[in-house]
Amino acid sequence: MKHRITLRVFFFDAEKDYLPYYKNFTFRLDGGSVLRDLLGRIARQNREFAYPQSRCWFRLNSLVTSGGTTVEQAVDRCGTEWRIEPLSERRARHALVIDDSDFEAAFALLAPWAEAGDRAYYESLYPLHYASETFRFTPDYLGDAVILTAHRMIVNGHPQSDAILQALADAPCGLNCAEYENNLFEARDDSARIEELKRRIFRPRRPSLVQRLETKLRLKRPKTFEGYGVAGGRFALYTGPDTAGLRESFSVKLAAKGGVPVTFDRSDRLIGRSLIESSPELAFRKMGTMIASAFDRGAQALIFTREVDLKLVRDHFASIERVMQRELPLPMISYSEFSARFLEEESESIPAAT
């Protein structure tokens, strides 16, 4: 089957260009052809375009995929409007070709204890390394691939397991910054493995005197939504992960009452709850990025599907504004309360996402 594909493709040459730019293309592609063929076609038509030959991985609509993905698979997942970008724009050297020396450098942490099989396993996690959402918030992150390789070594009974675990904990932005969330085209969930390592090394700690004083002195909390109706209003719904279908049903119910749903960044992603103990500043940045996106898109209120996420934001709101270096005057309300007051229905409590 043929598909008419509209493309927006990343171009950049580190030796000539100051900033990246995009070019638009339209192709009719056979569903059985692979994306590597498409990249080759673009390269033949544009001498300034390049793509990786041996490790042919890149981003398709923000998802890390390979040149072996078929057009049919890409259409099923991403539709027919595509944006093609390198694994890391920050590390781009020539269009989709990147400087991936950071991937090699990250393995140095485990090199003193690694065997040949460990190295091979790490190499297999190349796409996962660059798919980590954590890099968006801290480019110095060690990477999920190293942590998962370390987990494999430890559970396999490595005699230096304690030293490996301590090395992960001591890294400036290692296990302490890990909240597993990636952008792989073919999704995989290794969150349990990372959380297992974190439980081994991190223990809940009592806040320091300075932190307790800051909490007492900075009691600012977000506004509570006190509206009397939703007609004509714009509302943002934060669902977090694992709430398939909820956003669509909410939009239908809201529209029936005359309200307008607001689409915003990170509405279905994690907001750092697992980082509060190990890396609170990173957690505040993730929360703040989500709230700021909803506010900047014109939302009049931010609705939380999970009470635990709303409480997290309320408890740390002053710190969130401090990290974001801006005020976030966006009223907030729980989904259950919003439904009862404005949608005239009772909603069941939604369990916390891991």
Q: Which has more confidence, 347 or 236?
A: 236
pLDDT band at 52 (very low <50, low <70, confident <90, very high): very high
The mean per-residue pLDDT over the stretch 339-345 comes to 84
What pLDDT is attached to residue 242?
75
Q: What is the pLDDT of residues 105-151, one digit of tens each?
A: 999 999 999 999 999 999 999 999 999 999 999 999 999 999 999 99
The pTM assigned to this predicted structure is 0.87
Q: State the CATH architecture for 101-201.
A: Orthogonal Bundle (1.10)
Span 241-288, pLDDT tens digits:
877 688 888 999 999 999 999 999 999 999 999 999 889 999 999 999
Share of the chain above pLDDT 70, in %: 92
pLDDT for residue 119: 96
Name the 3-class secondary structure at 292: helix
pLDDT at residue 349, rounded to an integer: 52
Question: What does CATH list as the number for 2-98?
Answer: 3.10.20.30
Per-residue pLDDT of 14-42, as tens digits, reads 999 999 999 999 999 999 999 999 999 99
Question: Residue 182 in 3-state DSSP?
Answer: strand
Sign for the CA dihedral angle at 337, 342, 348, 352 comes to: negative
Rounded Cα distance, 147 and 128, in Å = 11
pLDDT digits (tens, 9 = 90+) for 146-168: 999 999 999 999 999 999 999 99
Based on the number of CB atoms within 10 Å of its own CB, is 228 exposed (0-12), middle (13-18) or buried (19 or more)? exposed
The number of beta carbons lying within 10 Å of the beta carbon of residue 204 is 6
Comparing 256 with 354, the larger pLDDT belongs to 256
Closest to 39 measured CA to CA, from 99, 98, 86, 88: 86
DSSP string covering 82-140, please?
Answer: EEEE-S-GGGEEETTEE--HHHHHHGGGTTTT--HHHHHHHHHTHHHHHHBGGGGT-TT
Q: State how far the Cα of 129 lies from the Cα of 221, in Å rounded to an integer.
A: 36
pLDDT at 210: 52
pLDDT at 223: 79
Q: For residues 312 and 307, give the distance between their C-alpha atoms in angstroms, rounded to a whole number.
A: 9
Options 3.40.640.10, 3.50.30.50, 1.20.1250.20, 1.20.1050.140; CATH of 215-343? 1.20.1050.140
Domain borders along the chain are 2-98, 101-201, 215-343
pLDDT band at residue 215 using 50, 70 and 90 as cut-offs: low
Is 150 in contact with 168 (CB distance < 8 Å)?
Answer: yes
